Structure 1
Amino acid sequence: MAVSARRGQPLTSEEIYAAALRLLDTAGVDGLSMRKLAAELDVNPMSLYHHVENKQALVRGACAAVVSRLRLPPDDGAPWQEQLRTLAHAYRSLAHSHPSLWSYVDGHPDLVDQESGLWAVFNRILVAAGIPAGELVRTRTTLYAFVSGFLSAETSGLLAELGGETGADTTFADTTFESAVDLIVAGIETRHRASGDR
């Protein structure tokens, strides 16, 4: 592990990703660089490369750190509808807590491992909802695009403008998000019933 002469203690991955996240939150992805991160951590920029390969890997690690702290629904036998609502709110909290990171990752989905974390929970819930294996990817992608579109409009201020919100009032966004999740749940239930009638 690299040790900075100024710090006198080794860097940790957790420390690196926490500092990267602070920079992402204040300056966005374009404002993040290995040099700026090194200055934030009071280390030589080269010492970062012992822990992270490049900026893309740094953003991927910061994203994984955020996702690891999300309150994802456990596999506890709760109805899939309840689990889907919990997942939707967890994902929305990510967009609200770290809008720059969320916006960047939303436009670069290759940065996220789609077989683990949030995606694994999403897949599990869709399977519990009765989505056939052959339709899982298409359904997941459709629902992701729907929710991401909503969150993009919300985080950019467009949703507030359309709803006539002013200042810090989030009532319209909150109730509209609930309606969006209701539509998703109802759509899955309807599709499941229709496929069962065949």
Structure 2
Amino acid sequence: MAASARRGTPLTIEEISTTALRLAEENGVEALSMRRLAAELRVNPMSLYHHVDNKEALIRMLCTAAQQRIELPADDGAPWQDQLRRLAVAYHQHTRAYPAMWTYLHRHPEIISDREHALWQALYRILRLAGVPESELRRTSDVLHAFVTGFVMAETQGHLPDDPEEIERDFDVAIRLIIHGLTGFSS
């Protein structure tokens, strides 16, 4: 990997990803371009193509990078309710940290359809602990995802109060409702 004469250091995937994610959050995913990213990295735009095929591949890479930044709860033997709460809080914090990427992902569901992603696998693991039968995992996870997504959309669209403490209390109520509903599977 050659170093750019202007930069003096080789370009890395991590640097591309981190910078592109920051630009996407600052200006929106649609405004991200290979030229803008190259300018920010102080490289020739063609240098990016040694690492990423095109803008679509860059956006897919960003989606993956953003998803990998969710701090998933460990399988530490804690009750499923606690693990589900930690997962929901981590997901909510992640949506607040990366609102542009989150919105983009939900406008382009084909990008996040991979059920092998660690987030989905953590949710499936927790749902199994809650007693959800294998045959109901997909449906239950889809409903929970829709429920939490609806909350986050209401928050990001300004349908909830601007007070962060009040939003946290409202989100806690949503989590309690989810946990209460899932308790029926283990009864």
- TM-score above 0.5, yes or no: yes
How many residues are matched? 186
Amino acid in the other structure paired with 1:81:
Q
- Would the alpha carbon gap of residues 176 and 133 (structure 1) be closer, same or farther in structure 2, given more than 3 Å must change? same
User: Given that residues 2 and 47 in structure 1 are in contact (C-alpha distance below 8 angstroms), is that contact kept between their aligned partners in structure 2?
Assistant: no
Question: Do structure 1's residue 176 and structure 2's residue 183 form an aligned pair?
Answer: no
Q: In 2, Cα distance between the equivalents of 1:92 and 1:139?
A: 19
Q: Which runs of 5+ in 1 are unaligned?
A: 194-198
Between 58-67 and 30-39, report the one with greater CA deviation: 58-67
Residue 67 of structure 1, CA deviation: 2.9
Q: CA deviation at 1:23?
A: 0.5
Give the structure 2 partner of residue 148 of structure 1: 149
Q: By how many angstroms is 1:48 displaced?
A: 0.8
Question: Which residue of 183, 188, 192 corresponds with 2:186?
Answer: 192
TM-superposed deviation, 1:83: 0.6
Deviation at 1:172, TM superposition (A): 2.1
Q: So what's the TM-score if we normalise by structure 1? A: 0.88
Distance in 1 of aligned mates of 2:89 and 2:184: 22
Distance in structure 1 (CA, Å) of the matches to 2:42 and 2:103? 28
Give the match for residue 107 of structure 2: 107
SS at match of 2:175: helix
In structure 2, distance between residues paired with 1:110 and 1:5: 39
Tell me, yes or no, if the aligned pair for 1:29 and 1:100 is still in contact at 8 Å.
Answer: yes
Q: Which amino acid aligns with 2:170?
A: T
Q: Percent identity?
A: 53
Any gaps of 5 or more consecutive residues in structure 2? none
Partner of 2:89: 89
Asked if 1:47 corresponds to 2:47, the answer is yes
Counterpart residue identity of residue 178, structure 1? D
CA RMSD in angstroms comes to 1.4
Does the Cα contact within 8 Å between 2:160 and 2:167 map onto a contact in 1?
A: yes
Match of 2:160, SS? helix
- Structure 1 partner of 2:79: 79
Deviation sequence 1:145-182 (CA, Å, 0-9, x none) = 1100100110121112xxxx4xxx22221111000000
Distance in 2 (CA, whole Å) between partners of 1:127 and 1:107 is 29
1:59 aligns with 2:59: yes
Once the two structures are TM-superposed, the CA of residue 2 in structure 1 deviates from its matched residue by 4.5
User: Deviation at 1:76?
Assistant: 1.2
Partners of 1:86 and 1:150 lie apart in 2 by: 16
